Amino acid sequence: MSPDLVALDILARGVAIGALAAIASGLWSGGTRQPARLAGLLFCTGVTAYIINSSPQLTSAFAPIMAPIHFAAFGGTGLFWLFIVALFEDRSVSVRTLGPWVLLTVIGVIGWAAPNTAREPIWLVHNLVEASFAAHALYLIWRSWRGDLVETRRRLRGPFLGVVTLYVMTLSGFEIAEGFGYFEDWFRLLGGASLALYCSAGAFVFLRARSELFGAAAPTALGESDALDAGDRAALAKLSALMGEGEAWRREGLTIGVLAEEVGVPEHRLRPLINDHLGFRNFAAFVNARRIEAAKAMLTDVDKSRVTVAAIAYDLGFGSLGPFNRAFKEATGVTPTEFRRSVANGGADA
């Protein structure tokens, strides 16, 4: 690259790092949910490491501390995946959600330490695993779109999907071209400029809508909201009846569209009622809260001690055992089997 292009590339990467620092500062100082805050900070760290690691000039400038920067960059896509599930699915930072980062980091360290003759296949595996997690993260954004009860976050999903997909396609195009021996000086500059643009846009969006995106929903008592008119009260009463004595939550595949139709209001009206007045940020959590409470009762009932965990999962509306185990552990910190065993041993409250 010519000196002018190098200077522009470094400037663009500096802008990107500054934007990431602004996001990290906002997350650290804001009243955000702990999982989203931690996932966001880790993601900003991983992207910053990638920005430095992908620039020969910055790599040379940071030579004394490049070992930890390399280490942080290896699992960057895993941290992106973690950020997606924490932001859009309200999942916690745990051993399970850190799994993609651990896997990519381990493969990266092996590739870094391997002899030159063995590095190429290892990095090919690393790139394929990265692509898989990136694709899965985009799928998660799309999958839970309709059930998102936070309107600001719902509106963000489309642009987020578009921007990330465009960036991944651009980056992949460069890597494929380089793999065939085609390289232009402006490739790296365009990559740096893209990072500056996307990181700056991210800072603008996340800092403006930080409380809506990351804040915990706070339920509002029915008698305390001036905005709750007679129609809203009637809708909430009907919803309470359907989810209470009606046990609508037992239905496998229950959607907010079906529930809105039964309540007698449009989806766009039911979403803020559940979010603002009942305190849930996504529809799955709203439904699963009822299911988990029922599961606890069944798991502590001595008359049902011979009923399998799988049978309980199906009875409560879960399509399979895996989602039930994940939802239960997310809510209680233990699996249904561990919960039942603990109750049997006198170690949990019935």
Mean pLDDT over all residues of the chain? 85
CB 194 within 8 A of CB 170: yes
Domain span including residue 235: 222-344
pLDDT for 23 equals 86
- Tell me: do 85 and 193 sit in the same domain: yes
Lowest mean pLDDT among 1-10, 14-23, 301-310: 1-10
Residue ending a domain, choose from 164, 186, 214: 214
Q: Are 288 and 91 in contact (CB under 8 A)?
A: no
> What is the pLDDT at residue 179?
57
**What's the pLDDT at 181?**
67
Same domain, 122 and 251: no
Whether residues 74 and 122 fall in one domain = yes
Confidence (pLDDT) at 37: 83
At residue 119, the pLDDT reads 85
Report pTM: 0.82
Residue 67's contacts (CB-CB under 8 Å, 6 or more residues apart) are none
The answer to whether residue 350 sits within a structural domain is no
Q: Are 87 and 36 in contact (CB under 8 A)?
A: yes
Residue 322 resides in a domain: yes
CATH number at 337 reads: 1.10.10.60
Same domain, yes or no, for 166 and 48? yes
Q: Which of 24-28, 122-126, 344-348 has the highest mean pLDDT?
A: 122-126
Tell me: do 248 and 199 sit in the same domain.
Answer: no
Question: Do 39 and 161 belong together in one domain?
Answer: yes
> What's the pLDDT score for residue 349?
47
CATH code (residue 20)? 1.20.1070.10
Residue-wise DSSP of 7-33: HHHHHHHHHHHHHHHHHHHHHHHS---
Q: How far apart (Å, rounded) are the C-alpha atoms in residues 211 and 152?
A: 10
Burial of 71: CB neighbours in 10 Å, binned 0-12, 13-18, 19+? middle
Q: Is 83 helix (H, G, I), strand (E, B) or coil?
A: helix
- The residue-averaged pLDDT of 335-350 equals 77
Which one of 20-29, 81-90, 196-205, 239-248 scores highest in mean pLDDT? 239-248
Q: What are phi and psi of 91, to 5 degrees?
A: -85, 155
d(CA 114, CA 155): 45
Predicted confidence at residue 87, as pLDDT, reads 86
d(CA 269, CA 274): 9
Q: Compare 91 and 167 and report the one with higher pLDDT.
A: 91
**Mean pLDDT of all residues in 173-183:** 66
Q: Same domain for 69 and 93?
A: yes
